[in-house]
Amino acid sequence: MNTLEPLLAKHPFFQGLESEYLKLITGCASNIRMNAGEFLFREGEDADRFFVIREGSVKLELFSGGRGPVTIQTIPEGEIVGYSWLFPPYRWVFSGRAVTPVRLFVFDGLCLRGKCDDDPKLGYELMKRFSHVMMGRLQASRVQLLDLYQVR
Amino acid sequence: MTAVMQARLPAPARLRDPMLPSLYRLERLQWDTRDTFSMDLLPQNGADMPAFKPGQFNMVYVYGVGEIPISISGDPGRRDVLIHTTRAVGTVTRAMSEMKVGDTLGIRGPFGTAWPVDAVRKHDVVIIAGGIGLAPLRPAMYRILATREHFGRVVLLYGARTPGDVLYRRELKQWRSEFDLDVFVTVDRATGSWRGSVGLVTQLIGRAPFDPLNTVAMVCGPEVMMRFTTLELEKRGIDRNNIYISFERNMKCGVGLCGHCQFGSVFVCKEGPVLRYSQMQHLLSKWEI
Ligand SMILES: Cc1cc2nc3c(=O)[nH]c(=O)nc-3n(C[C@H](O)[C@H](O)[C@H](O)COP(=O)(O)OP(=O)(O)OC[C@H]3O[C@@H](n4cnc5c(N)ncnc54)[C@H](O)[C@@H]3O)c2cc1C
Ligand code: FES
């Protein structure tokens, strides 16, 4: 058994995933560490991975001329980072950077897309999980847009 | 009633006219952020400082300008100073911000309901504040910390607009360093050196360390924030009867006489501002009442 499998099984993002699928996707995963300040990925580069945070937190940044890097959101332990590997043109729209030292699972997007294409049930299962995360973040961004704490 | 029993009764308290402000002197005005300041006030003419409960408010009268409700933000265990934290947004609050040490203003109160701090001992407590909403919750934090051993886990989740808008930084830092408190701060937007969390305060709820089946939540902030917060708390499994929120409505009398603060069937000045979410839930998502 790949040693990552039991670790993945415990992660909230994969909880309840059938063990046969867990085994399949473990083949596309590796375990990495990064230091605070290191980039997981940079805006504009090819998006061929996604990350699952085991420990630490990551921020999504957008570079804005004159203001420098603006943090859009920080993503804590237990969450996932990166959807751009799912959709053409497979390019990062934001940069992802470690806020603290982080431990991550990194998934090879090409490998995972291949497995999802081969087995639509796995694809659907993963897509449901990604959609759930995306919906949460979309709702949060919409509320953020209201600039709630501004004087009415 | 027997004479003995009568003798034991305290002398009837002199009833104060709740519409009559007492004079308070400004002892100190300190800017907490770019637009929010705290005032230390002392009663004049030898008057006693009234006791208050966490979450209660005073009607603050700036002579010649107007009167507004402001929560008490100090420590309910201290009777030597009255503290109000106010955001300068309009006529009265700006006039307050321009006052000088030694100036006087009028205070009526304390009024309204309180956070049920003493009633929820043995529970985990999660306090969730947005923006200036931390001011009415700070007295609840003080009260909990003064009797810390009676509570389970205590979590404070605080959201502000930018790092520069974070209130009570020094205290937050101190609370954060306590072993038996979990304090998480997040901002809506940040540049440069901010190493904390960026995102909505609601996003902190999912992973906050408390047992939803034995937790009481106290929430104060803009109404939309409270709406999303209560949703998230319910998702985490907290019973809506265990969620308390503090409401803001325009007020005139502050004592349930004029109807100015009416929200649905509730007079917020008297039955609130702290109310059970289960009682107000049907009104929270209404556009206009
Ligand atoms: C029970 C209760 C407790 C309160 N506690 C506090 C407190 O501790 N600290 C505090 O700063 N405020 C508190 N408020 C809100 C405070 O009463 C108002 O900010 C105040 O009445 C505004 O008066 P003003 O004359 O300065 O502004 P106005 O001249 O009446 O209004 C000027 C502008 O400010 C906007 N505005 C008014 N009120 C608010 C508000 N609450 N938030 C954002 N924008 C507003 C108006 O829409 C308008 O655009 C509390 C309100 C209630 C009901
Ligand atoms: S403010 Fe007058 S009834 Fe509430």
Average pLDDT, chain A: 91
Beta-carbon contacts of B276 under 8 Å, excluding residues fewer than 6 positions away, are B240, B241, B243, B244
Distance CA A85, CA A108 (A): 9
CATH superfamily membership of B3-111: Translation factors (2.40.30.10)
Q: What is the pLDDT of residue A60?
A: 93
Choose the residue to mutate in B68, B245, B258 for probing ligand 1, maximizing ligand atoms within 8 Å of C-beta.
B68
Ligand 2 atom with least separation from CA of B259: 3
Pick from A68, A140, A143: CB nearest B192: A68
Pairwise CB contact (< 8 Å): B198 & A78: no
pLDDT tier at B288 (50, 70, 90 boundaries)? low
Inter-residue contact B128 to B221 (CB < 8 Å): yes
Is A134 part of the contact surface with chain B (CB cutoff 8 Å)?
A: no
Pairwise CB contact (< 8 Å): B203 & A136: yes
pLDDT tier at B220 (50, 70, 90 boundaries)? very high
Task: Write out the H or E segment, with its range, that includes residue B215.
Answer: strand B215-220
Q: What is the pLDDT of residue B98?
A: 98
pLDDT, tens digit (0-9, with 9 covering 90-100), for B93-141: 999 999 999 999 999 999 999 999 999 999 999 999 999 999 999 999 9
Query: Nearest residue CA, atom 50 of ligand 1?
Result: B70
Inter-residue contact A50 to A107 (CB < 8 Å): yes
Count Cα neighbours of A64 within 13 Å in the Cβ-side half-sphere. Answer: 10
User: Domain locations in chain B?
Assistant: 3-111, 118-284
Mean pLDDT of B40-63: 95
Q: For the domain that residue A59 is a member of, what is the CATH number?
A: 2.60.120.10
Tell me the CA end-to-end span of chain B in Å, nearest whole number: 49
Average pLDDT, chain B: 91
Q: Which of these, A37, A118, A134, lies nearest to A82 by C-alpha position?
A: A134
Distance CA B137, CA B147 (A): 16
R_g (Cα) of chain B, nearest Å: 20
Q: What is the pLDDT of residue A1?
A: 52
Query: Is residue B56 scored above 60 in pLDDT?
Result: yes
Residues of A in contact with B194 (CB under 8 A): 71
Q: Which CATH number fits domain B118-284: 2.30.40.10, 1.10.10.60, 3.40.50.80, 3.40.630.10?
A: 3.40.50.80
Mean pLDDT of B34-55: 95
Query: Is residue B3 scored above 60 in pLDDT?
Result: no
B215-220 and B124-130 as β-strands: parallel, antiparallel, unpaired? Answer: parallel
Cβ under 8 Å to B: A residues 45-74:
57, 59, 67-74
Query: Is residue B40 scored above 50 in pLDDT?
Result: yes
Give the 3-state DSSP-derived string for chain A, with helices as H, strands as E and coil as C. Answer: CCCHHHHHHHCHHHCCCCHHHHHHHHCCEEEEEECCCCEEECCCCECCEEEEEEECCEEEEEEECCCEEEEEEEECCCCEECCHHHCCCCECCCEEEECCCEEEEEEEHHHHHHHHHHCHHHHHHHHHHHHHHHHHHHHHHHHHHCCCCCCC
Q: What is the pLDDT of residue A150?
A: 78
Can you state the angle between helices A109-118 and A19-26, rounded to 10 degrees?
140
Q: What is the pLDDT of residue A122?
A: 95
pLDDT tier at B273 (50, 70, 90 boundaries)? very high
B36-43 and A95-98 as β-strands: parallel, antiparallel, unpaired? Answer: unpaired
Query: Is residue B5 scored above 70 in pLDDT?
Result: no
Number of separate domains in chain A = 1
**Structural domain of residue A47, as residue ranges?**
5-148
| A6, A24, A134, B33, B273 from A15: Cα distances, Å | 11, 15, 17, 43, 41
Inter-residue contact B279 to B267 (CB < 8 Å): no
Asked, colleague to colleague, whether B3-111 and B118-284 share their fold, the answer is: no
Mean pLDDT of B244-263: 93
Q: What is the ipTM of this complex?
A: 0.84
Q: What angle do CA B43, B14, B47 make, to 5 degrees?
A: 15
Chain B interface test: which of A97, A143, A150, A151 (most B C-beta within 10 Å): A143
Q: Which residues line ligand 1 (CB under 6 A)?
A: A 151-152; B 57, 66, 68-71, 85-87, 89-93, 132, 135-136, 248-249, 251, 273
Query: Nearest residue CA, atom 38 of ligand 1?
Result: B89
Residues of B in contact with A71 (CB under 8 A): 189-191, 194, 198
Question: Given the structure tokens 């420098």, which residue do they identify?
Answer: A68
| List of chain A residues with pLDDT < 70 | 1-2, 152
